[in-house]
Each structure stands twice: as structure tokens, then as C-alpha cells.
Structure 1
Amino acid sequence: MADLENEVEVPRFFLCPISLEIMKDPVTLSTGITYDRDTIENWLFSRKNNVCPVTKQVVADIDLTPNHTLRRLIQSWCTLNASSGVERYPTPRPPISKTEITKLLKDLNSPNHQMKSLTRLKSIVLESEKNKRLMESVGAADYLSNIITNINSGITSSSRDEALYILYHIKLSPIGLKTLGKTGGLFDALRCIMQRAWSYEARAYAVMLLKSMSEVAEPMQVTSLNVEFFKELVNILTDQISEKATKATLKLLISVCPWGRNRIKAVEAGIVSVLIDALLDCSEKRVTELISMVLVQECQAADGPAELLKHGGGLAVVSGMVFGVSPVASERAVRILYSVAMFSGSVRVLQEMIELGVVEKLVLVLQVDCGRKMKEKAREILKIHSRVWKKSQCITYDLI
């Protein structure tokens, strides 16, 4: 069409203000400016802008009103200039509307229409970012969470799985997630779905949704989690459902462990041993970095360092992270070693740190270019235990 525009004079008001191309499906924003639908939807939803590109006004209402008059004018102009090679744009298919989505949501309350409505809602939410925002704006999260929380009702597991899938893929805004977190019984329902009796896919989406909710949750919601909740997270990691589920579980732990007694609860649930096992089998840098962050937090709990030492490979795998994965993992590994040396530094442990080369690596930390805090931790460990380590015949260098 660009070449044709050089030969045929195109009326300026036929052009989209963003793409500067003829509009196939002109729609008018609440600010009164008309754009091509695909272009403005990409601007608002995919690129997550909330202002009108022309007026710079904040767009409060995301409804796009079809400009039928302008579309007919463009189609007529295309027909009149067909001899010059201008092709007529077909009439666009009507987009999904709030009214249609609302009807589908209400049909969820009918057992006879529930699965059919869920199937249609699933296709709608996967179609575009705009549809996700529409579904959030009409309160889809309330209807879907109601299906998920009714664990003991006549709702089938298939319906619950579909509702969970859709709710996760809406990708609720922070405000939407915060509101969702206040839904009575949802945290408990998602914990139940994480259990091994459910499908791998449902368990994965449950933990991924919990991860998103925890990032904006109220302190009271996070501190009220019980040991059983952390046991289910341990099972998710043990079962290795998927890489996405593993990362979501680790991020969820990072988000909730600093609150209240959650570190202690996680340790009681057996998280430390599972994390060490995961590190032994892990070859993905990002996963290793996430595990190292969780271990940093767990080793701040009273029994955390002792649990790490109970694992035959605990010290060795943490030592292996120093200069073995990434600068981030190295810094976190030194923090873990600091917790072990400070709070569980028995003679046996200190001897094992020599045999595994931990002391040598701590000395190396002081000699190479790395973070200030990492050096401080290493120096403090060496300073406190240098009297013990200097007596070892394995140490042939000066300790600070």
C-alpha cells in the first residue's frame, strides 16, 4: 500500500496517527481520537501504555468504539481507486465485547453451561492482551475464584482446572491480584490443588498464581501460612513438575519467607534438604540463583544451617557455587557459608570446610575483584575461625 500512496492521494484522516497507514478497522478512543484497532490495541495492551498517543491524556476507559462511518468512507475510497491497484479492506469481524464476556461469566453458575462457557472464556483470554483487560474489568476473577474455592461442591475437577488456567492467564493487574488475595478461602483452595492428588498442570498453575498473589499480598495473609503450605511447596520442587513451576515455587518462597515465622515453617517442612538435592542436579543458572536466595533466607532461621549440614552434600554444593555459577550465586554462597560458620561452626564443620576447599575459596574472595559485602563476609569468617584453621597442616597460606 505504501507504493500506491505515492501514486494515489490518500486523505490524511484515513491514516492511523500511530502507523501512518490506512486504517483497516478504525476505532475511537475515549479521548475522541481515532486509530487503527490493531495499532492502538498494541499500544495500550501489549506495550502497556495508559495514555492516548495524540492527546497524552490518561485512558480511563479501555473500550474502543468502532468508527463505522470512517470505515465505510475508507472502503468506498478503496473501491473508487481500485483501477489504481488499491485493494478494498474487508469488513472486520466484531471484537469480543464486555456484554458477551459478562453473559459467559453468568453462565458459569449453571451446571449445564459451565464447561461450555469455560471453554469459550479460555479461547477469549488467549486471543489478545485486550481481552485479558476486558475480562478483568468485568470481574471475571470473582466468578473464576468462586469455582476454584468450592472444593467440596459438585463442581468437577475439570471445571476447576479450566477456571484456574483462565484465572492465571488473565494476568491480573497488581490491584486485581490484591483484591483476589482477599477472596475467602482462595489461599487454602490453591494449597489443596498443589497436592499430589491433582494433575501436574493444575498444581503448576496453582503455585504460579500463588506466586503472583504473594507479591502484592497483605502481611496478615502471608504470616498466616502454615507448615502444610510449605510442605506442598516442597512436594512441587521434589516432583519437578516443570521449570516454570520450579521457578514460581522458588520465587514464592523468596517472597513469603521473610515474613513472620515462615523461615522456620519452611525449615520444618524439609525445604533445605530438597534445595540441596535440587542444586546437585541443576545446570540452569537462573534456577541456581533462585535456590541460593532461598537458602540464604533459610540459613537465617535457627535450625537452617544445621539442616544444611545434615545433608551429606550441603557444604560441598554451596562451596561449588563460589565462582562456579555467577557473581550473584557466589555472593549468596558466601552469605550461606557465613551463617554456617557463625552459628554451626563446630570443630568438625570447620575441619570439613578445610577439606572441601571452602577456606581456600574464602581467601580467594579477598584477592579477586568482587562485591564489597561479599569480601566483608569472607573476611569476618576467616577472622573468627583463623585460630582453628591456622593449626591445620592443610593451610599453607596466611589467613586474615
Structure 2
Amino acid sequence: MSQLEEALRRTLAGAAGQAPQAPATLTGTVEARYRRRRNRTRAMLATAAVVAVLGGTAFALKDGTPRAMPAAPPTATLPPAIEKVWPQAIHDLPATLPDGRAFRPYQFIDDRTLLVTPEDRTKLPDAVYAYDVRAGDARKITDLPKETALFPEGLVAGGGRVMWWTVPGNGRGQLWSAPLSGGPARVVAGLPMDDGGVDAMAVAGDRIVFSVQEGGVFTVPLRGGTVKPVKGGADSHLLAWPWIGRPGMASAKGEPMFGTIRNVQTGETDTAFTRPGDESIRCGLEVCAGWTVRGGFTRLRDGSQERPDPCADRPQTVTPGRFCAELVKGSGQALEVLRDRRTGRSAVLGIARSSMLGLVPNMGQRLMHYTVQGRMRLVDLTKIP
């Protein structure tokens, strides 16, 4: 083990030792989640930035190679506040549901209704709710059955239903569904699943579309039925329906993640532009991000609009999207700034250094959330032109 590797091990071990201890009742859940996420985590570490601080210097591991990067945020003139740049995308809400419980938002069902689950550090969520952001009230959609065992994953609404997936621990995945109008949830499909589980899920007409970590895109009727593979999707992953692509998170070193994508409805294909010297390239539906000897870059899939990536030195989602968050120091303070990689526009979010938990939209997720002065702020990225 090299000196750097040993220092990284000690740093991460020390951070783990200082973390809050989970309640004893969650031991089994944590172990089950570890097993299920193990493969996914390995794949993510191969491509995403893992940051540690050693003696005041930050190192990002990319494809196993340490890269030194600045420990302090960049200094620049701060852009205007987001409520001035994109006011149509902002929703400021109470931080709790009407019953006083904190909540986690997933997506807008319509222009005023938010899909949420209660948040409680001591226990698993017990139900899914529709939260009216204008009236301020919440309606229970369905109870989360005990059989789900873990936190619901991939919660998504469409076609008049809400869906999620789980792996109870017996090695067989389950897709669950319930009517948005209200009613009991039930399993709509069961399928063999590795520890990585489902890596993306969406609604396409009257069917659920999903892909699994090991590769393969499938569909199943919203109300249950036979799981069918998508033609030509055996080694692919769902990016944003109807686009699927390869390779997924477990891409080989040097091969762009989602470098090649295909529209399964039209047959159109798209191969991302690359040039010699590009490293660790990760592509989304519009944008690719990667590294060269000059530093991080971002550009559109066709190679146009290449510019330095303002978020290159921040922990990122595996699949880069149009938006990212960067910590910028200006006017004597450091604040999170939302960057639009496609247009170059930016806006101050109104918060200082963040845990990033709600600030890094991934895959098809188009909702950001964070707390400002005791209230929850939602940023609906679909409302930004």
C-alpha cells in the first residue's frame, strides 16, 4: 500500500469513526443496503470524483489515479440570486408536512402536486404522499408495505400511478406500484437482480421502463404482467426514455460512459465526440464532462461549446446533466452557485457549503431541494429555458 493510499485509508476511517451511530434497530437494514449497493458503489468509484483532504490538500481519485485539486473554493464575482435569474423555477415551502414531519421531495406530479415521503432518521418512511404546494396540505397516496424492507428506490410517478423498486434480501428484485388517486400498493413484477439493483426507471405510456446495474433494459405493464427485454437493449442502460445507451456506470477505463446512445422509438443513434487526451468522460443526454491535462471540461455531445467545467472539482453524479452546483467565494463569503453547462448562465442558490444531497440532479431527476432560513426551497429544473 502506497503512502498516499495509506493516508487516504486513515482519513476515510477517521471520518467514518466520527459519523453518527445508527440506531440498533437499523443494523439489518444497513447491512442489506450495503450488499445491494456494493456493486453500484464500485462502479461509481471508477468514474466519479472521490474527494479526501490530506494535510490541507484535496485529492480526487479518477480511474484510480490521484489528482491534486484546490482545497479552497474559487474566488469570483458572484452571479445574481436564483430568484432573480430563474424565478419561475422556484418554490419556497414549509420545511415540514402539515403533521410536522420532515419530508423528501421526489418529483412534481403536476404543476402544483409534489410526490414526497416522510423523512425520519430513526425509522423508515411509512407512506407516499401527494403534497399540494399551493394549498399546503398533504394526501396519502399509499402505505409502503413492510415487504419493501428498505427505503423505496427510484420513486417515480406517471400514467396515473406511482412506482418504486426494492430488493428485500432474497436476491429477487420487486417493482411496486400504487394508484396516484390512492389505494394499496402491490408488486407488479419480480425479477432476478444482482446487488446493484435497478439503475434507472421511467414511465413510457402504459409501461414501466427500467434498466439493471449489470446491463439490460426491460419493460413491464404499469398494472403488472410479464417483464420483456427492450429490443437491442441487452447490454444497455436507460438514460432518458426513449434513449438508452452503453456503457453504463461500469464502463471500462477510457471508454466514455453513455458514449453511444440510441432512441429505441426512432432508431436514431448518437456517438459522443472525443479527442486524444480526454479522460474519464461521462455523458448525459446533452452534455459530456471529462478531464484533460489542462483540467476538467464540459461540452455538448457533438463537441461544440467546450469550456472549462466549473464543477469539475466537486463530487458529481455519475452521469453529468445540464446543471451542476459549485461553491464560489465572492464578496467575503462562499456560496453555492447553480451552473447551466449548456448556456453558461449561473445563479446563487442562497446557501453556503452544502452536503450536496439535494443539489446534484442525476439521470432523469429534475428537482433540486435545500433549506433556506428554515424553509425548503425547490428548484424545478424543467422550468429553466
| TM-score, scaled relative to structure 1 | 0.21
| TM-score, scaled relative to structure 2 | 0.22
Name the one with the larger helix percent.
1
Higher RCO (Cα < 8 Å, 6 or more apart)? 2
Name the one with the larger strand percent.
2
When Rg is computed on C-alpha atoms for both structures, the one with the higher figure is 1
